[in-house]
């Protein structure tokens, strides 16, 4: 039996994770359901405000861990299944749930503006209408001196794993899969992650390079689909570098010197140009590259609308390029494969 607890800020994606786990056979329980049952018995509306007031009242009357204790009792009646427990908002609830064997707490989070945009899209009457009001409500829920009230900050601190949910559902589901495999042999992942998959493809593409100095390649991806690849070498219709086509490379010029005399196009450059050649937009895509981009490729990446750069190894003269990417708001991260 594996029990996954979920905590996180409003609209961070806890329910989405719970739904995903349900598809994997997890039985979903929510601490909020216990509060809803109490409100229904009192003929009160199930508004967010009423849920908070009632939850705090139950903790004050029966102890701060009461919702966790009631949920543990439910789980112990049927032990031959996996469970997901949602809506954990008080550290005492975590303490009760941790009495169960194989209980792990996941903290699901996302940047405030991302979460506020999600709130606006769901458009519930009771939701805050401005970002300032949204922040004010979060501040009240985040930390409380009274043990019987919600204390999200202290609850998050008890999490076994943290999942960032700001890169779309495929990335969220992949993060959940990785986390489950960390918790249990039953969910061990044998296939490569998307990062490993695309970076290894980029390394294979690099073997097509005709440059005699350094073999570099890039793969441009949208929604888990490759839209373009490129490797470094001389332009189409000219002699290959390894056939003497680039004087700079064939003279074995020192790395970083006389780049303006190099006839070879870079891997990232070729991937972007090939995409344009075939009439495919690169706006909003991710580029996987075997080396971090040079300054020239960086400018092309920014202007072509690519939003994320994932690189395997750091290019020796890449500092100014990495700074420029950061300034332009392009996400950059390193993912190394052997």
pLDDT (tens digit per residue) in 263-311: 788 999 999 999 999 999 999 999 999 999 999 999 999 999 999 999 9
Q: Which pLDDT does position 186 carry in this prediction?
A: 87
pLDDT tier for residue 139 given thresholds of 50, 70 and 90: confident
Q: Looking at per-residue confidence, does 46 or 225 come out higher?
A: 225
> Is the pLDDT assigned to residue 234 strictly greater than 70?
yes
**How large is the average pLDDT for residues 70-76?**
92
At 32-60, the pLDDT tens digits run: 888 988 899 889 887 878 888 888 888 88
pLDDT tier for residue 317 given thresholds of 50, 70 and 90: low
> Is the pLDDT assigned to residue 241 strictly greater than 80?
no
> Is the pLDDT assigned to residue 331 strictly greater than 60?
yes
Active site residue: 37, 268, 313, 327, which one? 268
Q: Which pLDDT does position 55 carry in this prediction?
A: 85
Burial class (CB in 10 A: 0-12, 13-18, 19+), 185: exposed
Q: Which pLDDT does position 80 carry in this prediction?
A: 86
Q: Which pLDDT does position 265 carry in this prediction?
A: 84
Q: Looking at per-residue confidence, does 260 or 170 come out higher?
A: 170
268 is catalytic: yes
User: How far is it between the farthest Cα atoms of the chain?
Assistant: 85
Q: Which pLDDT does position 149 carry in this prediction?
A: 74
Q: Which pLDDT does position 20 carry in this prediction?
A: 97
> Is the pLDDT assigned to residue 190 strictly greater than 70?
yes
Residues 6 or more apart from 73 whose CB is under 8 A from it?
Answer: none
User: Collapsing DSSP states into helix, strand and coil, what is residue 63?
Assistant: coil
Residue spans of beta strands (DSSP E) within the chain = 3-8, 27-30, 83-86, 103-109, 161-164, 217-222, 225-231, 286-291, 308-313, 331-334
Give the Cα separation of 185 and 296 in Å (integer). 46
């Amino acid at each position: 039996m594996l029990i996954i607890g979920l905590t996180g800020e409003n609209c961070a994606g806890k329910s989405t994770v719970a739904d995903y786990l349900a598809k994997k056979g997890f039985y979903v329980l929510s601490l909020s359901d216990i509060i809803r049952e109490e409100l229904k018995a009192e003929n009160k509306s199930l508004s967010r405000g009423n849920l908070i007031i009632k939850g705090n009242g139950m903790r004050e009357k029966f102890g701060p861990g009461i919702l966790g204790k009631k949920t543990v009792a439910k789980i112990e009646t049927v032990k031959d299944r996996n469970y997901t427990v949602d809506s954990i908002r008080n550290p005492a609830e975590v303490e009760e749930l941790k009495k169960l064997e194989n209980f792990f707490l996941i903290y699901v989070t996302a940047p405030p503006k991302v979460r506020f945009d999600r709130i606006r899209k769901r458009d519930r009457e009771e939701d805050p209408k401005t970002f300032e009001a949204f922040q004010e409500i979060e501040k009240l829920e985040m930390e409380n001196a009274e043990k019987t009230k919600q204390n999200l900050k202290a609850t998050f601190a008890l999490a076994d794993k943290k999942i960032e949910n700001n890169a779309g559902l495929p990335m969220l589901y992949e993060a959940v899969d990785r986390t489950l495999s960390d918790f249990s042999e039953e969910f061990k992942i044998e296939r490569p992650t998307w990062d490993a998959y695309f970076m290894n493809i980029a390394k294979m593409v690099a073997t097509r390079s005709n440059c005699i100095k350094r073999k570099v390649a890039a793969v441009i991806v949208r929604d888990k689909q490759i839209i373009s690849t490129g490797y470094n070498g001389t332009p189409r219709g000219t002699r290959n570098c390894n056939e003497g086509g680039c004087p700079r490379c064939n003279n074995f010029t020192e790395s970083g010197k006389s780049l303006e005399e190099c006839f070879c196009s870079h891997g990232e450059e070729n991937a972007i140009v090939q995409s344009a050649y075939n009439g495919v937009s690169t706006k909003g895509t991710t580029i996987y590259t075997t080396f971090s981009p040079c300054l020239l490729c960086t400018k092309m990446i920014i202007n072509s609308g690519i939003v994320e750069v994932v690189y395997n190894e750091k290019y020796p003269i890449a500092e100014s390029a990495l700074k420029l990417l950061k300034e332009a708001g392009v996400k950059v991260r390193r993912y190394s494969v052997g």
